[in-house]
Amino acid sequence: MGGEAINRKEEAMAQPVQAQQADLTAIQDLFYRAAEMLEEGRFLEWVDLFAEDGVYTAITAANLKDRGLAIFTDRGRAGLRERAAYWMGMWQVNRGSTSHVIGNVRLVGRDGDQIQVRSKFIMTRMNRDGLVDLHTAGSYQDVLTERGGALLFQHRRVIIDNRTLPSNFTDPL
């Protein structure tokens, strides 16, 4: 899968600055809309931001350096819809408002019609006392693809800095 193929080919990016800016704006818009959909519970819209055979996976930084034991891996629209189903009620967990602040969005490579992007995020969550806690933080490593004029997620890997998860880690990352 594309995700494993993320490697920095920055030298290959001999693209006019202006085109890069346009890409970056489109990429950021995709990322921000994705986060907003997740925060607002528009999960099926979020599924449509992925390519038909898109992959969504999460892993700890420690396990990424080890054999690669994932927290979860969803493949294809069916897998993504299954995850949406869990968010929509297959889990009986309590929910609190979350915020994903995404920063450091950076093009790191381009391979045919695929764009490789890295970014950082901090995610907060309202706890059961009603206060906002830091929930997790880490990186997104994305491979995006253009289909019909729109950018889609081909492979989104969420790398979290945790080695130990907090309780109730079922919120969308």
Partner 1 sequence: MDTATRGSLFDLPSDRLIDRGIYYEPAVFAEEIEKIFKKTWQFVGHESELAAIGDYLTVDIYDQRLIVTRAKDGALRAFYNNCTHRGAALATETKGNCGNAFRCMYHGWSFDLEGRLTGLPRRSSYGPGVDLSMYNIPQVRVESFAKFIFVCLDSAAPDLETFLGGVKAPLLETSADVQVLGRLSFFYPGNWKLWSDNARDGYHAEYTHPLVGAVYRDVAESAGTIQHFAKGHSKLWWPIEGDPRNIGQLQEKILGVTGAQHNSPGTRPMPPVKIDFARGNVIAAIFPNVHLQWLMAGSEHVMEIARPIGPKQTRVDMIAFAPADESPEGIAFRLAKTMDSHSSAGKVTGDDCEAVTRITEAVHADGVQWTPLNRGLKEGDLGHKTDDTALRGFYAAWRDHMGVGS
Inter-residue contact 51 to 147 (CB < 8 Å): yes
Residue 96: which of partner 1, a copy of itself, none does it interact with, CB under 5 to 8 A by kind? a copy of itself
DSSP 8-state assignment for residue 97: -
Q: Is beta strand 50-60 parallel, antiparallel or unpaired with respect to 150-160?
A: parallel
Q: Which is nearer to partner 1, 112 or 128 (CB)?
A: 128
- 139 lines the binding site for a copy of itself (CB under 8 A): yes
Residue 114: which of a copy of itself, partner 1, none does it interact with, CB under 5 to 8 A by kind? none
Contact residue for a copy of itself among 1, 41, 45, 61 (CB under 8 A): 61
Q: What is the H or E stretch that residue 84 is in?
A: helix 76-85
Q: Which is nearer to partner 1, 115 or 158 (CB)?
A: 158
Rounded Cα distance between 69 and 99, Å, is: 26
Identify the CA nearest to 122 among candidates 158, 152, 68.
158
> Which residues, 6+ apart, have CB-to-CB distance to 2 below 8 Å?
55, 114, 143, 154, 155
Pick out residues in 145-164 that bind a copy of itself (CB under 8 A): 160-164
Q: Which is nearer to a copy of itself, 143 or 160 (CB)?
A: 160
Only one of the segments 51-59, 73-81, 94-102, 147-155 lies at the binding site for a copy of itself (rule: CB under 8 A); that segment is 94-102
The least distance separating partner 1 from the CB of residue 113, rounded to whole angstroms, comes to: 25
> Which residues, 6+ apart, have CB-to-CB distance to 1 below 8 Å?
55, 75, 155
CA-CA-CA-CA torsion sign (87, 92, 95, 100) = negative
Residue 84: which of partner 1, a copy of itself, none does it interact with, CB under 5 to 8 A by kind? partner 1
In the complex, the residues that contact a copy of itself under the rule CB under 8 A are 17-18, 20-22, 24-26, 28-29, 31-33, 35-36, 61-62, 96-106, 118, 120-122, 124-126, 129-139, 160-164, 166
